[in-house]
Structure 1
Amino acid sequence: MNVAVLSGKGGTGKTTVSTNLALALKANYIDCDVEEPNGFLFLKPQVKEIENVMVEYPLIEDSKCVSCGACVDVCQFNALAKVKDDIILFQKLCHGCGACEIACKYGAISYKKREIGRIEKGHIDNIDCSRGILNISEPMAVPVIRQLLEKLPEGINIIDCPPGTSCNVVNSLKYVDGAVLVTEPTEFGLHDLKIAVELVRMFNIPFGVVINKNSCEENLIKKYCVEEQIQMIGAIPYNREIAVIYSKGEIIYNNSKFKDIFNELAEKTKGVLKWN
């Protein structure tokens, strides 16, 4: 069972829910927010395995290239450009599709690999933890996310998705059986929740909503969920003590005062997502 935890925007408490829910469900934790992977700051697993993430890029052999521009014309990602009599490669725009190599009639293009990030794997409290890390200045996170999710551990996996609803999130959702949408009771929270709801509905993924920083019985998020017939998984109270625990990089689930909150979220998640 692979469960995505996502939000329409950053800062709603997605990683808070992901890490604590993983412990409550005794589930493996996978951090797909490869540009800001901060789940390990809370779980603190001992990293025992590191894999490099490599992508292909074209190499142009000057002795064979006649600067015809066929490779430039076929590139959909503007990674190649013809400037006077030279073909210029913008390496980080290349998606490694291979079209330029096929288009070149002179055999001037071959492919090499370069590193864009890494996968780290560790273990804590009988659960496996893994995360992807995109190298600084690299623009494309998807190859790191794909490699991270290719070989998921057996059992229950909590997938901490990137924030928002970009292609990074879409590629994460390809591997999931259900989703937990995390939001907060504000106008901004509601706006971005609606976008996230539209996304998971497009993929026909069963989902429910968790409200973080919940301060009252009725709010605009609960009203929206009733109107849209969206199931509520639960809420995390707007509490100063929880904020202090989080600010110290500690796990809320380990505090006996708040442990039951996440145990209840775990049980409700099973029901909402029709756990099998």
Structure 2
Amino acid sequence: MIISIASGKGGTGKTTVATNLAVSVDDPVQFLDCDVEEPNAHLFLHPTIEETKTVNTPVPQIDLDACNQCKKCMDICRFRAIAVIGDMVLTFPELCHSCGGCMAICPESAITETDRELGALEIGHRDGIAFIHGRMRVGEAMAPPLIRLVRQAGATDGLTLIDAPPGTSCPVIAAMKDTDFVLLVTEPTPFGLHDLTLAVEAVKILKIPMGLVINRCDMGDDKVKAYAQREGLPILMEIPFDREIAQCYSRGEMFTLTLPEWKARFRELLQQIKTLIGKGAGE
């Protein structure tokens, strides 16, 4: 079972929910931090890192002596990563999505591939939690290739929790795609509601069952709850704006370990998710 914890905007408490859920379950769990631009789950889980892997992606390399400037490579590239100007062929590795189309279509076999560094994978563990996260290279523009590699590095059985990036753009889709459930985390504010609506529409396109956690539920207004009711979006948990919880967060601790009554609530959250997944499969 793969559960992706996502949010329409940053700062809603997505990582807080993901890490506390991970330490609350009894069964072994795999935690994938796919927020590769700014991974922070390790600040709470404190895993022991056992392995670091440099991650590369293939990009085109042009043999100008063999090239006849036919422009077929430029025409096939949807991302404008190749430009033919006169007798010169320019490549823009940061725009390349590593599809291999240019190399396949070249009639002169003038294109080969070379590696471009994306970042690194760090693999470790904490007690019964297997931990993997990606760290994107400074200056790198494309997160989805690294996110896909983080997901590929994980095991395919057992419970997997994915801490997705914030927002609704390509990195989030890469983290949510082909998961069994999306747990959306929001806050009852106008910004929270606005970005939640975008996230819900994105999950609908992916046709994945979803549920909602409202963080800091006792501030703001009731518009998020009204929206959830209209959309038939189940509210699975509400977390109050609580001083003790905030103090745990400020110390880099998970509040379920300090406030044991919350551990039981997160276990119940997981059971609700399993029930919703089962209903989806039945339909």
Structure 2 SS opposite 1:41: helix
Select which of 245, 250, 255 maps to 1:242: 245
Give the conservation status (yes or no) of the 8 Å contact 1:231–1:272.
Answer: no
RMSD in angstroms over aligned alpha carbons?
Answer: 1.9
| C-alpha deviation, 1:215, in angstroms | 1.3
Are the structure 2 counterparts of residues 88 and 216 from structure 1 closer, same or farther at C-alpha, using a change threshold of 3 Å? closer
**1:80 equivalent in alignment to 2:82:** yes
Q: Which amino acid aligns with 1:228?
A: E
| Residue 260 (structure 1) aligns with | 261
TM-aligned CA deviation for residue 134 of structure 1? 1.2
Letter in 2 for 1:77: F
**Which string of whole-angstrom CA distances, capped at 9 and with x for unpartnered residues, describes residues 9-63 of structure 1?**
1111100101011111243211011111100011010100222222111111122
TM-score, normalised to structure 2, is 0.90
**Aligned CA distance change for structure 1 residues 136 and 102 (closer, same or farther; 3 Å):** same
Tell me the SS of whatever aligns to 1:106. coil
Q: Name whichever of 135-144 and 194-203 sits farther off.
A: 194-203
CA deviations 1:87-122 (Å, max 9, x no partner) are 111111111222222332222111122221111111
SS of residue in 2 equivalent to 1:180: strand
Q: 1:151-166 residue pairs with structure 2 within 5 A? A: 151-153=153-155, 154-166=157-169
- Give the distance between the partners of 1:273 and 1:155, measured in 2 at CA: 13
**Helix, strand or coil: the match of 1:214?**
coil
* 1:91 paired residue number: 93
Does the aligned pair in 1 maintain the 2:189–2:221 contact within 8 Å? no
1:206 Cα deviation from its structure 2 partner:
1.8
Q: 1:122 to 1:246 in 2, by over 3 A?
A: same
Seq. identity, %: 42
- Of residues 157, 180, 187 in structure 2, which corresponds to 1:177? 180
CA contact (8 A) 1:233 1:265 kept: no
Distance 1:86 1:218, change over 3 A: closer
Instruction: Work out the CA distance in 1 between the residues paired with 2:189 and 2:220.
Output: 14
Question: Is 1:144 the counterpart of 2:115 in the alignment?
Answer: no
Give the Cα–Cα distance (whole angstroms) in 1 for the partners of residues 186 and 77 of structure 2.
39
Report the alpha carbon displacement of residue 79 of structure 1 after superposing the two structures with TM.
Answer: 0.6
Equivalent pair of 1:206/1:273 in contact (CA under 8 Å): no
User: 1:188: how far off?
Assistant: 0.8
User: How far off its partner does 1:216 sit?
Assistant: 5.8
Structure 1: runs of 5 or more not aligned: none
| CA 253–158 in structure 1, closer or farther in 2 if over 3 Å, else same | same
**Is contact 2:188-2:220 (8 Å) kept?**
no
> Could you say if the C-alpha distance between residues 59 and 66 of structure 1 is closer, same or farther in structure 2, counting changes exceeding 3 Å?
same
**Cα pair 2:64 2:88 within 8 Å, conserved:** no
Secondary structure at 2:244 match in 1: helix
2:107 is aligned with 1:108: no
**Residue 265 of structure 1: how far off its partner (Å):** 3.0
* Corresponding position of 1:4: 4
CA distance in 2, matches of 1:237, 1:181: 16
Runs of 5+ consecutive residues of structure 2 not aligned to the other structure:
279-283
3-state SS of the aligned residue for 1:114? strand
